[in-house]
Amino acid sequence: MSNRSRSIAAALVFALAIAGCGDDGAIPPDGDVPGDDAAGADADAEAGPDGGTEREVDAGVEDAEVPPDAAAWVEIVEPADGALVDNPVRFVVAAGGGVARVRLFADDWPLGEAWDPAASTERSYTFTGVGYERHVELFGYDGAGAEVAYDDVRITVRETATDPGTPVGTMWNTYYYFADEADYAGPDDTTLYDDACRPIAEVPAEFSDDVCIEGSGRLEDGRVINYAGTCSCGRPCPTGGIICYAALDPAAFPWGMGSRGNPLEPLRSWAVDNSFLPFGTVLYAAEWDGVAIPAVDGLGGFTHDGCFRADDVGGAIRDNHFDFFAGTAGMWRALERIFPTGSDFTVYRDGERCRYLAP
């Protein structure tokens, strides 16, 4: 954990892993940010590790560190300052006091766009330049785009094994997502019930249908609901049967719950057949490695490393079929344009490359 003493109580925590580029001056895989046309964080140049590139931040944001006693704050919780870390590097950050967006830099190179910490959960990259110290900075911005908080650490990335693991074979995909009542129009004419047939909420019928199919969703009042089992009350599901729900703590389960009481993670969690792949298996899908994930609904905006985890199950998921948790309907539509439903993937399990996702 970080050696700074600022409290991280009530903070929203999300994980980010960052990468650089090789020493040939090329833009790193994670540096393909619109407007970033200079050499990346690892480029050789006398002016510094970024070749003299000025740090780019959102328009109108001034460079100003905020004193420790300011209300707004950010913190790099992991790794600790001075740590020796393995690829891919996992960063855990916290923010509070009105920080609306955060952004990471490595050696003055922006690692993607600024993110809304209320929506972002994880970003992963791999440093290709290893064995020397990196200066990583975290900036926090308020709702107006002004820089209001700052933290930094220095780390050294060591080279780790790149073995993808044991071959699983070819698997094919579908997608699922987290239904959000705010996206649905129409009257609140349908009652959702818990597994004791007690009313939870009145919602539009279309939302009831979608949350039944997807398994989890967010109500307009902010509560998160999740599949709890079949029951005898409520609206029949389009796929058959009647489903009841459990209300979850949105802080603990912002994207719903997997099959073992675990929080789901957009762009990382797969629903699988547990007779084919046990729960918690760490997976590597070669075709996803290096894919630029578009920024949609506060998710994405990074280059995927191909690492996933078996977090969930589904009634229609059998054998080598997996259901990719996209997070939102918008992200699902974006991913369909990259790899449509029914695409084939070369999958490996339990490799060193993705062991950082192990439960």
Q: How many CB atoms are closer than 10 A to CB 125?
A: 26
Half-sphere exposure of 110 (CA within 13 A, CB side): 21
List all residues 6 or more positions away from 126 whose beta carbon is below 8 Å from its beta carbon: 17, 19, 87, 88, 89, 305
pLDDT of residue 315: 85
- Domain range annotation of the chain: 14-158, 165-176+257-357, 179-248
Over residues 54-74, the mean pLDDT reads: 51
pLDDT of residue 262: 96
Is residue 53's pLDDT more than 70?
no
Cβ atoms of residues 229 and 199 within 8 Å: no
Q: Which residue has the tokens 């339990």?
A: 350
Over residues 243-260, the mean pLDDT reads: 94
The two three-digit tokens of residue 43, written as one number: 């480029």
Q: Maximum CA pair distance of the chain?
A: 71
Is residue 135's pLDDT more than 60?
yes
List all residues 6 or more positions away from 105 whose beta carbon is below 8 Å from its beta carbon: 55, 111, 136, 137, 138, 139
pLDDT of residue 161: 58
Over residues 80-88, the mean pLDDT reads: 83
List all residues 6 or more positions away from 272 whose beta carbon is below 8 Å from its beta carbon: 281, 310, 312, 313, 317, 322, 323
pLDDT of residue 284: 97
Residue 78 CA to residue 89 CA, distance in Å, equals 10
Stretch among 69-78, 231-240, 322-331 having the lowest mean pLDDT: 69-78
Cβ atoms of residues 318 and 129 within 8 Å: no
* Whether CATH 1.10.1270.20 fits 165-176+257-357: no
pLDDT of residue 84: 82
Identify the CA nearest to 116 among candidates 141, 133, 137, 147.
Answer: 141
Beta bridge partners, 321, equal 172
- Cα–Cα distance list, 214 to 171, 176, 179, 201 (Å): 21, 6, 7, 17
pLDDT of residue 158: 76
pLDDT of residue 3: 38
Is residue 304's pLDDT more than 70?
yes
pLDDT of residue 127: 74
Residue 16 CA to residue 130 CA, distance in Å, equals 18
Is residue 56's pLDDT more than 90?
no
Is residue 14's pLDDT more than 80?
no
Stretch among 16-25, 149-158, 280-289 having the lowest mean pLDDT: 16-25
Identify the CA nearest to 211 among candidates 162, 249, 246, 167.
Answer: 246
What's the length of the chain? 359
pLDDT of residue 9: 36
Domain 14-158 shares a fold with domain 165-176+257-357: no
- Topology of domain 14-158, CATH: Immunoglobulin-like (2.60.40)
Stretch among 49-63, 138-152, 199-213 having the lowest mean pLDDT: 49-63
Over residues 121-146, the mean pLDDT reads: 83
Cβ atoms of residues 91 and 71 within 8 Å: no
pLDDT of residue 125: 66
For residue 255, with 0-12 CB atoms within 10 Å meaning exposed, 13-18 middle and 19 or more buried, which class applies?
buried
Whole-number CA gyration radius for the chain:
21
pLDDT tens digit string along 136-168? Answer: 999 999 999 999 999 999 988 876 657 899 999
Is residue 40's pLDDT more than 70?
no
